[in-house]
Amino acid sequence: MTLVVHTISEARQQVVLPRRSGGTIGLVPTMGALHAGHARLIEAARAESDFVVVSIFVNPLQFGPGEDFSRYPRTMTSDLEVCTNQGADLVFAPPMEALYPTDQLTFVDVTRISDRLCGQFRPGHFRGVATVVSKLLNVLQPDRAYFGEKDYQQLAAIRRMVSDLNMPVFIAGVPTVREPDGLAISSRNRYLDNSQRQVATTLYRGLLYAQELIRTGEKHSALVRERAMEYLRQEPGIRVEYFDIVDADEIQPITGIISSPVRIAGAIWVGNTRLIDNLPA
């Protein structure tokens, strides 16, 4: 069984020995409700680090008013099984008061990268993410921290934060783990009923379609976007929140010709469930 600690001092204590004996520490920050995507992150950390820490914390700071903070799935028992099966050494599962004992007056804002895509529709979200990730990095001081490409904008923001603030940690990106039909695995997929689950793959198919257009020579960003939107609009069971082609580093929309690596990213609503996904091109 993986050891579980709840306080910052216990967590720090647990990494003292592995670090003192020259080992590398890998951190996998999560909000729990662990699934095959998280398992892949832990697997990558396990392969590349001597001591693997998984943090489990549903961070209120990254949820907006009216978002799903209170109904976000909390599944600690099965989460611990996943961590044990993947060979994690330590689970850090702080209660709210451990990470936010007093009003948080200090925040990390990764400007520009946070402005578009999800940032436009979830104001303050990336500020909440960057702030809690900074705290976790400061608590555990890992050598490497693992993030999924599933949340590509988040990965880009964290990479830039670490670079801009000279944080001594390597940020490793892990490719998106998908269901057999292509749906990106997400803790929020469990909100979907059977018929919603059927249409949820539309976003991935739209992304594939856009990727194929670009790969077969279509260079006009607006045209690719319009054709993909047309495709998505054919499915009445979803509502598109955004679908954009952005540069891979700073997540800024490509307005003219696609000439360097881009990311195609989208967000849709299926009933009351918001799903995001992205692909490279």
Binding interface with ligand AMP (CB under 6 A): 30-31, 37-38, 40-41, 147-148, 150-151, 174, 176-177, 184-187
Say how far apart CA 210 and CA 229 lie, in whole Å: 9
Q: Residue 8 or 184: which CB sits closer to ligand AMP?
A: 184
Least spacing, CB of residue 70 vs ligand AMP, in Å: 16
Q: Residue 148 or 266: which CB sits closer to ligand AMP?
A: 148
| Active site annotation includes 38 | yes
Burial 215-241 (b: 16+ CB within 10 A, else e): eeeeeebeebbebbeebbeebeebebb
Least spacing, CB of residue 181 vs ligand AMP, in Å: 13
The C-alpha torsion from 177 through 231 and 126 to 29, rounded to 10°, is: -10
Catalytic residue among 6, 38, 125, 220: 38
Least spacing, CB of residue 184 vs ligand AMP, in Å: 5
Least spacing, CB of residue 230 vs ligand AMP, in Å: 27
Least spacing, CB of residue 17 vs ligand AMP, in Å: 26
Least spacing, CB of residue 213 vs ligand AMP, in Å: 24
| Phi, psi torsion values for 87, nearest 5 degrees | 80, 25
- In sequence order, which residues have a C-beta less than 8 Å from that of residue 52 and are 6 or more positions away? 25, 26, 28, 42, 45, 46, 86, 87, 88, 89, 90
CB closest to ligand AMP, residue no: 148
Q: Residue 15 or 184: which CB sits closer to ligand AMP?
A: 184
Active site residues: 38
